Chains A and B, each alone.
Chain A
């Protein structure tokens, strides 16, 4: 938990005119982590990333990336951090190899070194068969993989990807997430943004939920679930017999029981209490038909958070009236 801090922002703020795109962001990412910056479109994810890369100047606050200041030392930051922009583009009239060679040369690699590095990276990402094809003929999934190769050319210590799975079909998205997992195994720190929470929750060690330029929630997925949903584990059981709600509520660690349909009980629990629930049903003379655990998804966490948020907003409006 106390690994070296790779990226840190303090009160990071960006205004466009009067519009607050990023509002006092505090973010810490440690070495080896995969951090997910999640939130709906327009939440301020891209703006944050541009400030991390030194491509846009912060209005206020501090940024440290690999202990460097992206505003003062943009070249050092950009030499060490790989950035895969949202809907990344390539020179369609050039081949994959030519596209990557240009990037290698911009990173100061000598001709020979650049050729070797490009070949190596293309192999790593499984695109060597298409190396000499014009990128104009590539599919969306291949382009996204080429984007990863592009980022790996400079052998980065930190990779920042903006909406990397956007526009990919489910198969391509899964392949892409596999690539991210493999990168993580090599020890690279990754920050990725997405507005499709379910796609990335599986690869992220920690996530931050973004809303209107602010990070409203931060932590591991189960942590967030506990915070927002009350229970991190949802157990659904089907049992016939008398109303078992009271019995189930008695089990230590059960936070709530919902009984909305006949014979169906939904439990919110602090831990995996399937065995205890089964025992309780049997003891009470009920007949157990099925017992399933659902881990809460980020989508749920998010939806729940927004319901709360909207309720609060409405209350504020009511109070104002």
Chain B
């Protein structure tokens, strides 16, 4: 009974009309009040945290990677910028996609759009790309702003390696947003009410942020209980707990940016995300190796995004066009 276009020979490219969709959706995003509010929010956060960070950095003196500290230094009571990103990025991504498909249904525009010579593939992927590009645009702007602010406040330009690490951090952040974009999009296909889709997306985010850590610990304790108290037992439990926490995109992201922004991090072992600004001793890792360290996390983020998108694609193909 489900009507899937996937298995059949189809004429033409599935991406016919893709760029028309991307252009229209991006224009929508960039002029929407919703995005304006979020942009202001991110802007305030960036200025506030960076201002506080430069204050702190100037007091503590010299460092080889002083610009990276702009992102990671916190000054009580303000957390570091990356701490804010952990929820601002999901929030923005969800805001960009929670009404992607159900909005078309509710406005009764879907059948009109699909009556044009395009496939559903182009519509869905176009909406995803438009969200991702918008996110990238906003984040890049903020990134440039922070660097600019840093140059002004610190009075020195960033080194080449700092720029490279900073860009990698930007890329990771955009892909982290991609997951939430894809998730919100899936919910926008499943639920007819945009509010329901938004709540469901936020619930998932909250689950991973607040509860998943606790659940991983509990699971690890049940699966690998410590009976005698041997170090091997403890290690097994900790390793399992760590592996489980990595199911959470939040953990994947935070681990990856620690490795990128803090060159002294040599492994992504038992470092808790909250110890981001902790001064670990030892020589800084070369750029290439830091990137290698965070590479699996990036592929994990991208793979999860692709899976979610594929799920959304299948669900969307099976939907009837009539509202």
Contacts and interface: CB of A to CB of B under 8 A. Distances in A.
Interface stretch (B62-70, B108-116, B128-136, B306-314): B108-116
Interface stretch (B9-17, B164-172, B192-200, B267-275): B9-17
Contacts of B320: 56
Interface in A39-78: 46, 50, 53, 55-57, 71-76, 78
Contacts of B111: 55, 83, 85, 88
12 contacts: A17-B1, A55-B321, A57-B3, A74-B11, A75-B117, A89-B109, A90-B112, A103-B113, A105-B20, A105-B23, A105-B24, A108-B17
B21 interface: yes
A91 B106 CA distance: 10
Given A105-B24, A106-B17, A50 B321 contact: yes
B152 to A, nearest CB: 38
A87 interface: yes
A107 interface: yes
Interface in B74-122: 107-109, 111-119
B14 to A, nearest CB: 10
B227 interface: no
A46 B115 CA distance: 14
Interface string A19-53: 00000000000000000000000000010001001
A87 B112 CA distance: 10
A90 B114 CA distance: 13
B201 to A, nearest CB: 22
A86 B111 CA distance: 9
Interface of B: 1, 3, 8-12, 16-17, 20-21, 23-24, 28, 107-109, 111-119, 320-322
Contacts of A266: none
A240 B117 CA distance: 66
Contacts of B115: 53, 55, 78, 81-83, 85
Contact of A88 (B9, B112, B119): B112
A309 interface: no
Contacts of B112: 83, 85, 88-90, 103, 150
Contact of A75 (B11, B28, B113, B322): B11
Contacts of A103: 112-113, 116
Contacts of A81: 115
B11 A78 contact: no
Nearest to B123: A106
A57 B320 CA distance: 10
Given A85-B108, A85-B112, A107-B117, A76 B322 contact: no
B20 A106 contact: yes
Contacts of B23: 105
5 A-B pairs with least C-beta separation: A89-B108, A105-B20, A83-B115, A106-B116, A79-B117
A107 B23 CA distance: 14
A55 B11 CA distance: 15
Given A86-B322, A103-B112, 16 more contacts: A50-B322, A55-B114, A56-B320, A72-B11, A75-B16, A81-B115, A83-B112, A85-B115, A88-B108, A89-B107, A90-B109, A105-B17, A106-B17, A106-B113, A106-B118, A108-B117
